[in-house]
């Protein structure tokens, strides 16, 4: 097993699928000769040619719309949004065209839209967002957000092989920071949550970068903290969440997204609804306040949930 960065694992998964299935192709802004803004597709145009690694105009609606047509015609497009923030321009094609195609016409739309998301590096309001919940509310889409290199590769492969449109969130701040062992060849990560750390006193539910924040906080707390990595937001692994809460009786739900109607809000509602009798404390949420992400690093650090805030929230809940 090779040790890869999160970014290398995504590239690896993409390359495996391009090699394995000739229906798979990549499209996006500067994904070809330039290798992508973050170099996820570096070297791919050389190996697979410009037909399968296609540079596009700066037009997200066109990218997704083209992908939907190609998917209906039998191909397996993987679209790259240069930054997740830009997906707003392709929103209509995703939620109204791709998401509803099967419901309206019975046609499968096996596209993957890769969204390099998240903040923590001074990217500012147009390059730091976590727009997953925009898509969680649109029927017909799957929304996944891996946290580890192994899952990043496996989830991308599973997304490409899934017959539904899949919004694939890859956290930019994990790209080169997080390394891990990644199996070789093709494997699929299931749309199920994973217990990233076992514990008995408190459950922290997180996904993406926040899994690592939670794990770092848990290390520093003198209590048995369980960290549940959701991996998939739609479908949401409700049973895994409830099982963990049944064990620990306390839950902190962590989001890097703006707090209102975020993925964590859905998780908190689920626990309050179906886990009520297992609770020994309030369901607590920690998320980014409803403000744009600031450029200024100190201000950005102040709005994004960090290890200290997570620790504080955990300690308060443990003490309850």
Q: What are phi and psi of 167, to 5 degrees?
A: -90, 115
Min dist. Cβ of residue 221 to other proteins (A)? 16
Cα 211 from Cα 278, distance rounded (Å): 23
Nearest to 140 by CA among 175, 106, 180: 106
Give yes or no for residue 122 binding other proteins (CB under 8 A).
no
SS3 239: helix
Min dist. Cβ of residue 269 to other proteins (A)? 16
Beta-sheet pairing, 112-117 with 76-80:
parallel
Min dist. Cβ of residue 254 to other proteins (A)? 21
Min dist. Cβ of residue 249 to other proteins (A)? 5
Q: Identify which of residues 161 and 224 has a Cβ nearer to other proteins in the complex.
A: 224
Active site annotation includes 102 = no
Give yes or no for residue 224 binding other proteins (CB under 8 A).
no
Neighbouring CB atoms inside 10 A of 163's CB total 11
Tokens 């899994």 — which residue? Answer: 211
Interface stretch with other proteins, choices 8-16, 20-28, 37-45, 270-278 (CB under 8 A): 270-278
Residue in 278, 301, 307, 309 binding other proteins, rule: CB under 8 A: 278
Neighbouring CB atoms inside 10 A of 219's CB total 11
For other proteins, what does the binding mask look like between residues 249 and 268, x meaning CB under 8 A?
A: x-------------------
Interface stretch with other proteins, choices 8-16, 68-76, 97-105, 276-284 (CB under 8 A): 276-284
Task: Extract the tokens encoding 316.
Answer: 């308060």
Cα 179 from Cα 87, distance rounded (Å): 27
Which residues are known catalytic residues? Answer: 127
User: Which residues here bind other proteins, judged by CB under 8 A?
Assistant: 249, 276-281, 319-320
């Amino acid at each position: 097993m090779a040790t890869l960065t999160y970014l290398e694992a995504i590239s690896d998964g993409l390359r495996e699928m391009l090699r394995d299935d000739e229906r798979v192709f990549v499209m996006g802004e500067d994904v070809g000769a330039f290798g992508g803004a973050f170099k996820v597709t570096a070297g791919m145009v050389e190996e697979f040619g410009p037909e399968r690694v296609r540079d596009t105009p700066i037009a997200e609606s066109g990218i997704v719309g083209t992908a939907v047509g190609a998917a209906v015609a039998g191909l397996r497009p993987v679209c790259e949004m240069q930054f997740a923030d830009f997906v707003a321009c392709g929103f209509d094609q995703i939620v109204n065209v791709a998401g509803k195609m099967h419901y309206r016409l019975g046609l499968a739309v096996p596209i993957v839209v890769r969204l390099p998301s998240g903040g923590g590096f001074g990217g500012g309001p147009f390059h730091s967002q976590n727009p997953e919940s925009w898509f969680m509310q649109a029927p017909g889409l799957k929304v996944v957000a891996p946290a580890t290199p192994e899952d990043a590769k496996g989830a991308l492969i599973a997304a490409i092989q899934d017959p539904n449109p899949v919004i694939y969130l890859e956290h930019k701040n994990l790209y080169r920071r997080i390394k891990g062992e990644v199996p070789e060849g093709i494997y699929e990560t299931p749309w199920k949550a994973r217990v990233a750390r076992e514990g008995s006193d408190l459950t922290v539910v997180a996904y993406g970068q926040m899994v690592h924040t939670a794990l770092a906080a848990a290390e520093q707390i003198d209590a048995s903290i369980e960290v549940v990595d959701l991996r998939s937001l739609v479908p949401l692994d409700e049973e895994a969440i409830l099982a963990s809460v049944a064990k620990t009786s306390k839950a902190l739900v962590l989001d890097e997204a703006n707090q209102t109607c975020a993925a964590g809000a859905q998780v908190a509602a689920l626990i309050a609804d179906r886990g009520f009798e297992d609770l020994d404390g309030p369901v607590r949420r920690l998320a980014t306040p409803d403000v744009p992400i600031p450029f200024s690093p100190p201000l950005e650090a102040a709005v994004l949930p960090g290890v200290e805030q997570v620790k504080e929230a955990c300690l308060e809940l443990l003490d309850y």
